């Protein structure tokens, strides 16, 4: 039984790939907005963008899982081979989706680099305002390492 014997699976596959393509385009736009917000240090906008990015990534994951289920239902081998065996422009749609995924990955890495440099700048600024030789106010655990021993307030 081949995927060609199931026109409804081919239609579902095409709809899935189109939905993934549309979602990937939206995600790429969100990441471009994120970069602008990072450069402007717009925290409120970043919070909104993070929520949108999370939703888009979740939808892509759901669509990806559905794609794998369609492949299993068609008893297909590799995804690339399956798309080539189908018609309706699916190989081109798959290639477009792979290209968008690469652009999303690159945009995400660029934003991570920008975020890392902002973090380093912030840490450097905080160190400049702290008097020399004083410890950081809070350690990695979130507690102040002041070196004070615990006090006993009373005993009965």
pLDDT digit string (tens) for 107-119?
Answer: 999 999 999 998 8
Task: Report CA-CA distances (Å) from 17 to 24, 60, 71, 72, 152.
Answer: 10, 10, 12, 16, 66
Tell whether pTM > 0.85.
no
pLDDT surpasses 50 at 4 = no
Domain spans in the chain, listed from the N-terminal domain onward? 7-129
State how far the Cα of 28 lies from the Cα of 124, in Å rounded to an integer. 31
Average pLDDT, the chain: 81
* CATH superfamily assigned to domain 7-129: FlgN-like (1.20.58.300)
- State the pLDDT at residue 86: 61
The structure tokens 């005993």 sit at 155
Give pLDDT tens digits for 64-106: 999 888 877 776 666 666 666 665 667 788 889 999 999 999 9
């Amino acid at each position: 039984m081949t995927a060609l014997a199931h026109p409804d699976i081919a239609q579902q596959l095409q709809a899935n790939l189109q939905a993934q393509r549309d979602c990937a385009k939206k995600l790429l736009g969100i990441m471009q907005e994120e970069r602008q917000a990072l450069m402007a240090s717009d925290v409120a906008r970043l919070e909104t963008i993070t929520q949108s990015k999370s939703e888009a990534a979740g939808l892509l994951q759901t669509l990806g899982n559905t794609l794998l289920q369609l492949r299993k239902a068609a008893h297909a081998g590799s995804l690339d081979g399956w798309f080539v065996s189908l018609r309706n422009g699916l190989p081109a749609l798959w290639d477009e989706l792979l290209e968008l995924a690469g652009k999303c990955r690159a945009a995400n890495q660029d934003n991570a680099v920008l975020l890392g440099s902002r973090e380093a700048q912030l840490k450097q600024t905080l160190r400049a305002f702290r008097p020399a030789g004083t410890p950081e106010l809070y350690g990695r655990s979130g507690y102040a390492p002041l070196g004070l021993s615990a006090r006993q307030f009373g005993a009965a």
